[in-house]
Every structure is written in C-alpha cells, then in structure tokens.
Amino acid sequence: MQILLKSKPYLLFCALVFSSLTQAQNYPNRPVQIVTPFPPGGAADVVVRLVTQQLTDGFKSTFVVDNKPGAGGAIGAQFVARATPDGYTLLLTSSSSMSINPHLNAKLGFDPFKSLTPIGFIGYSPNVLVVNPALPFKTPADLLNAAKEKPGFYSFASNGSGTLSHLTGELYKQAAGVDFLHVPYKGAAPAMVDVAGGQVSLLFAAYASVAPMVKSGKLKALGVTSTKRLHIAPDLPTLAESGIPGFESNQWWGLFGPANMPPDIVSRLNLEVNKALKSPELRKRFSEESIEVGGGSPADLAAYLQVDFDKWGRAIKAGNIKNN
C-alpha cells in the first residue's frame, strides 16, 4: 500500500505529460483566432494577414484575423491576456503596444511580461531620417554638426506625441546630445507634407511611407535607424555608423499568447512561424513594406522585448514625455 501511495505523484506527472503531448499533437482542431490590436490597413495589418495565411497553410487548419483596435493596442492585448491559454487565442502586436505604451499609460490592463507568452519574432521595420531637400545636409553628420551649432533652431515633425516617430526623435536628441524643436502632427501624411514644404526640418518615418517622396525629390533621406542597412536601400547609411554607435529604433512585430500556454503548443507555433518567415511570398511582401524578416525562438522574442522596453523607458523618463 505504501509503495502504491508513493507512486501516485509519479503517475499523476505521467498523466499530465501524456495529456500535454496529446493536446499538442492534436493542435489545432478548431479555428485559431489571431487578434491584432490595430484597425485594418497599414503595415500592421499587412503583417498579421500574411502571417495568418502562412500559418493556415502550414498547419492545414484555419487561422483567422480579428481586429480589436483601441487604447494604443491595449484593448486587443487585454482580450488575449484574459483568454484561455490553450493556443486558440493569439496576439500579433507591435512594439508600440508592448515597449512604449506601458511607459505612457499605467492603466493598460495587461503586463507585457507577465500577462503574455512570447511565441515568435515576426520582423521589424526601421525608420528613415528624412529632411527638407533645400537643406544643405548630405549626411547625418552634417545635420548633427549644424544642430550643435544652433541648438533648437531645427525642428522635427512626428506622427503625434508618444508615437514611435516622436520617441525616435527624442532618442536621437538624447544620444547625439543635440536639441530639436518637436512639432507633433495627427499622422504621418501631414508631417511629411510640412517637411517637404519646409515648415519643419526633419522627420523620422517608415521607409515605405516616405519612399515615393524621396524618389520624387520632395524629401531627402539621410539614414536609417536600424543597426544594419536596409536591403531595399543599401546606399542609406545607418545612424549607428554615422556618429551614434548602437543607435536603433525599430517598429517590430511579435506573436504572443496568453500567459501559461502549454510549452509544446508554443514550440509548434514557433516552428511554423519560422517556416512561414521563409516563404518567398511573405518575404516579397515584407520587402515591399520595408519590413526585415525576424525569426528565432520564444526566448529570443522575450529578450528583444526586454531590451526594447528598457530602452524606451529610459528615453521617455529622460525626455519627461507624458501621454497627452
């Protein structure tokens, strides 16, 4: 009898392991909901729909997109954080909602580290530093030298206070030790128009959004904010190689699930995500949107999130940036 009693914990452990393996092997046996916390359209929607289609093909099961916009991505993230952690409700979100907004809004209703399970790093898109073409700058160093000579004389536009374009400008100021006047706009389009018109000096924006105006000569591109050059614009230097070592500011996307997901299901999803990122169709569309392909393990995504989260926390604190 004593031997049988001692064996119960072992039998229970074996049953749990067997149940977990069976669950993973049968996954998914019903449609999987991929929540994106942004409205249809734009780079975020392109990313989520491409990945969703690839997962549908890879698993030979249905993955569906569910747009739940609002509160800077918090509504969709909250929804997934509160879902059953069985792998049937996932979140494909961006750095804005995971790395930036938690520092600007203490009442988001979710914790990017405790409320969610990292699954796969999808990709990233750097910003491009563009200036009015009438300005005499040919390199990022030219701009920095001029800004140091006339602190506060040059201005930078942004898509709005607290956006990535705003925070990239603030990070640039802090890292380079220069001062620019911030001019917030309601979106990228009016910001680009005013930089092209000479009302504002410069702007950090997604390459895909400014590329047509750069090609037409209405804007001049000086550099990119990633640590390596864009493969679709290899002649553009990085800011990291142009006087600000280590400078990096990317919009990135990752796939997450609720906290405490079964590890075997996480592994299966991560495997299929990495397969999806090798798809020629996905890579072609990512390239058109100036998105660099990601990949790696769930731990890689968790580590990237931590570094990015800490970086923006420091920048927001140093700039005394508040959520308007």
Contact of 185 with 160, CB cutoff 8 Å: yes
**Count: domains in the chain:** 2
Question: Quick one: 49 and 83 in the same domain?
Answer: yes
Question: Quick one: 162 and 198 in the same domain?
Answer: yes
Q: What is the CATH number of the domain that holds 282?
A: 3.40.190.150
Question: Quick one: 35 and 81 in the same domain?
Answer: yes
Q: Token pair 């930089």 is at which residue?
A: 195
Question: Quick one: 121 and 260 in the same domain?
Answer: yes
| pLDDT over 90 (residue 139) | yes
Residue 95 is assigned to a structural domain of this protein: yes
For 241-299, write each residue's pLDDT tens digit.
Answer: 998 999 999 999 999 999 999 999 999 999 999 999 999 999 999 988 889 999 999 99
Contact of 215 with 233, CB cutoff 8 Å: no
Q: Token pair 């030219």 is at which residue?
A: 142
Question: Quick one: 43 and 117 in the same domain?
Answer: yes
Q: What is the mean pLDDT of residues 57-70?
A: 94
Question: Quick one: 121 and 79 in the same domain?
Answer: yes
pLDDT band at 11 (very low <50, low <70, confident <90, very high): low
Strands (DSSP E) found in 95-195: 116-131, 155-158, 181-184
Q: What is the CATH number of the domain that holds 197?
A: 3.40.190.10
Residue 20 is assigned to a structural domain of this protein: no
Residue 199 is assigned to a structural domain of this protein: yes
pTM: 0.88
Residue 163 is assigned to a structural domain of this protein: yes
For 38-54, write each residue's pLDDT tens digit.
Answer: 888 777 888 999 999 99
Question: Quick one: 302 and 258 in the same domain?
Answer: yes
Question: Quick one: 220 and 156 in the same domain?
Answer: yes
DSSP code for 29: S
